[in-house]
Amino acid sequence: MKTTLLLSVLCAVMAVAASEVCGSVTCATDEICNNITNTCQCNTTFYTYTPGSRASPNNTCTGATFNIQVSKCRLEKQGYNTSGIRLNGTDSECLAVMEIVDGISEMTLHHSVTSSVCNTEAVINSTHVTYTNQLYIFARREPVQRITDAVVNVSCSYLLNLNINRKETLDPVVINIPEANGSYAAVMMAFKDSTYTMLLFDSDVLTVEDTIYLSVKVPDLDANTFKLKVVNIYASPTNSSNQKYYLLQNGCPASDVPADQLTVESNGVGIESRFPMKVFQISNSNTVYLYADLALCTTDCTTTCGSQSRSLIIQPVSGNTGTFLDAAVYNYDGSSARSK
């Protein structure tokens, strides 16, 4: 009760405090102007040092974005250095910046939850894909260090609505869709069976000519408004190779691959596209990375693929994202591989 009252009084005092113009900037209500340097500095009288208190940032998820904020001046009062707050990465995009929120100085991060950026990791269970990262808040070392560095886990979770039990091999990505006014998690999955229920795992051994079943899906997409279309599917021997072996081009099986190499089961009619595919091996490589280029349609956008004109018919679509999906990497058993 006393804590609540104290916070209420503090908020009331800060609300009536006038923002101070300092040089070319305006200070937050919990800052004062250093007239010598013309910079805004925390007014630490607004905050109380609490022994044992730890940093507690506020993390929310908007679309496919981490929104992290924590009081700059409260952190400094507790003994933290606010200049180096960052996610688990050293690039400039991983660093928090000062932002005035509702008149208060906050350290904020508005960052895409895309897998691998700032070492964000995707964890998938039977119902959700959850993107996790760590926020590093370092203690002030000078003139003395009185607290330890803080590492706070942050996460954003998205419903998959998929009726399968395990997805350890998935590598989802987030696509930005301006036409849909948001961002969505997209996943590529490989299954062992034609009912798309038995997921393929890293431990499963594949040989050339085995049939697997690819599914590309944007689970949270509004199926009444948009249809997902996979425009291209291609394979590379590594995740950084410029070598591309196209299986699907412009919505149709590529013209230079055998007719039964990849079949379009469904594409452009809902939020999921399906493709039975025969396993193949790229020369001098035991692994294959699969990728897909995605586009959106506001109506059904299937492509009619003739036997003589495959990959030549291009169906106009809206909302082309140009985003790549990383599928799982499947190891091949070279000793038992059959020739094509």
Q: DSSP secondary structure string, 166-206?
A: --TT-B-EEEEEGGGTEEEEEEEEEESSTTS-SB--TTS-B
Q: Assess whether 22 and 155 both reside in one domain.
A: yes
Tell me whether residue 94 is in a domain: yes
Instruction: Express each pLDDT in 309-318 by its tens digit.
Output: 333 333 333 3
Tell me whether residue 165 is in a domain: no
Long-range contacts of residues 335-338, Cβ cutoff 8 Å, at least 24 apart: 336/205, 336/207, 337/207, 337/208, 337/281, 338/207, 338/208, 338/209
Residue 116 structural domain: 2-159
CB 294 within 8 A of CB 216: yes
Q: Assess whether 8 and 153 both reside in one domain.
A: yes
Tell me whether residue 6 is in a domain: yes
pLDDT cut 90: percent of the chain above it: 25
Separation CA 248–CA 231 (nearest Å): 7
Determine the pLDDT at residue 184.
65
* pTM attached to this predicted model: 0.51
Q: Assess whether 218 and 145 both reside in one domain.
A: no
Look up the CATH number of the domain holding residue 14: 2.60.40.3210
Determine the pLDDT at residue 174.
54
Question: Is pLDDT at 69 greater than 90 in this prediction?
Answer: yes
Q: Assess whether 181 and 266 both reside in one domain.
A: yes
Q: Assess whether 248 and 121 both reside in one domain.
A: no
Determine the pLDDT at residue 164.
31
Q: Assess whether 95 and 185 both reside in one domain.
A: no
Q: Higher model confidence: residue 51 or residue 273? A: 273
Q: Assess whether 155 and 235 both reside in one domain.
A: no
For the segment 229-245, the average pLDDT, to the nearest whole number, is 82
Q: Assess whether 11 and 143 both reside in one domain.
A: yes
Last residue of a domain, one of 134, 159, 184: 159
Q: Assess whether 7 and 153 both reside in one domain.
A: yes
Separation CA 130–CA 294 (nearest Å): 22
Last residue of a domain, one of 133, 159, 185: 159
Tell me whether residue 168 is in a domain: no
Residue 325 confidence class, pLDDT cut points 50, 70, 90: very low
Tell me whether residue 164 is in a domain: no
* Number of independent structural domains in the chain: 2
Look up the CATH number of the domain holding residue 298: 2.60.40.4100
Question: Is pLDDT at 268 greater than 60 in this prediction?
Answer: yes
Residue 114 confidence class, pLDDT cut points 50, 70, 90: low
Q: Assess whether 177 and 154 both reside in one domain.
A: no
Q: Assess whether 319 and 182 both reside in one domain.
A: yes
Query: How many other CB atoms sit within 10 Å of the CB of residue 202?
Result: 10
Separation of first and last alpha carbons in the chain:
75
Question: Is pLDDT at 327 greater than 60 in this prediction?
Answer: no
Tell me whether residue 166 is in a domain: no
SS3 164: coil
Last residue of a domain, one of 118, 134, 159: 159
Q: Assess whether 39 and 140 both reside in one domain.
A: yes
